[in-house]
Structure 1
Amino acid sequence: MARETKLILCPVNLRHAAVDFAAYDEAVEMARRRGAKLIVTTIAPEMERNLNIRDSEAFWKQELQKFIRSHPAEGIEVELVVRKGSTHRQIVKLADERKVDIIVMESANPKVKDYLLGTTASHVVAHADCSVLVVRT
């Protein structure tokens, strides 16, 4: 029997969201089909490279809200979460804390065509306690 999916986590790299959001689209459709809640997260850097950004968490929360407005997930419950720190560690930590059923994420940085599985995705696959669906870009 298939496992019940009630909570899906979808990390979004907002630096590449304009060109690559296939994993987000997949997560939205999966949530619709399964009647699941979707947590969309982005991970802000510990040290912001852009010195004009004074409040990193607030800035990235706003950017995540813009992304969701331009890619609405109609018909499903969506929660937005911004974390600071190491991307791969924060994804695994959030998945563990919230006891998500599956993580749906991109495979690699869209500029890196030489790797089959990006370092963030490979870390999440190796360390997450839940299933991970890796969407190739």
Structure 2
Amino acid sequence: MYSNIIVPISFEDEAKIAAAMRVAHLLQAKGGKITLMHVIEEIPAYVINYLPQDYMLASRSAIEADLTRLATAHGPATHALVEGHSGRTILEFAKKAGADLIVIGSHRPGMQDLLMGSTAAHVVRHSPCAVHVLR
């Protein structure tokens, strides 16, 4: 059983989020903590000039509201919203938080994943703790 579990999510498929949270709760030690997290990818400078000034603030606020809703619906869990490259940022967050497990969803690998690597694959290869991958 694990006492500090990180569940990184993307908002593409709520069924996958629910599945990851079920697994996290099954693997959670009594009194353990689950943190639902999302990484906002950095927007390139050449793109940000074409976005409305309040875009990032409004986007961050909407994502924060969704995280709060999901953490409540699939909780109990805390949540975190961080910015950066998804794979590296998940690993940095897990290390700083002292996580002992990361529960992460994955998709069927395609040609792009073979050339560039997926977020889940990056997390598995470089994680400072155990990783449970859901497909």
Classify the TM-score, shorter chain.
0.7 to 0.9
Map of 1:54 onto structure 2: 56
Deviates more, 1:50-59 or 1:127-136: 50-59
Map of 1:25 onto structure 2: 22
Gaps of 5+ in 1: none
- Measured in 2, the distance between the counterparts of 1:121 and 1:18 equals 17
Of Structure 1 and Structure 2, which has the larger fraction of its residues in strand?
Answer: 2
Deviates more, 1:98-107 or 1:44-53: 44-53
- Measured in 1, the distance between the counterparts of 2:127 and 2:42 equals 22
Map of 1:82 onto structure 2: 81
Structure 1 residues 1-137: aligned runs within 5 Å: 5-14=2-11, 16-21=12-17, 22-31=19-28, 34-35=29-30, 36-47=32-43, 51=51, 53-55=55-57, 56-69=59-72, 71-73=73-75, 76=76, 78-108=77-107, 114=110, 119-136=118-135
- Measured in 2, the distance between the counterparts of 1:28 and 1:87 equals 23
How far residue 113 of structure 1 moved from its aligned partner, in angstroms, is 5.8
Q: CA RMSD in A?
A: 2.7
Of Structure 1 and Structure 2, which has the larger fraction of its residues in helix?
Answer: 2
Gaps of 5+ in 2: none
Question: Is the 2:71–2:78 contact (alpha carbons within 8 Å) kept by the matching residues of 1?
Answer: no
Question: Is the 2:39–2:85 contact (alpha carbons within 8 Å) kept by the matching residues of 1?
Answer: yes
Kindly provide the CA deviation profile for residues 62-115 of structure 1, in whole angstroms up to 9, marking residues without a partner as x: 12112234x332xx4x2110001111111000011111000001022xxx5647
Identity %: 25
Q: What amino acid maps onto 1:41 in structure 2?
A: M
Question: Is the 2:40–2:82 contact (alpha carbons within 8 Å) kept by the matching residues of 1?
Answer: yes
SS in 1 for 2:123: helix
Number of positions where the alignment pairs a residue of Structure 1 with one of Structure 2: 123
Length-normalised TM-score, structure 1: 0.75
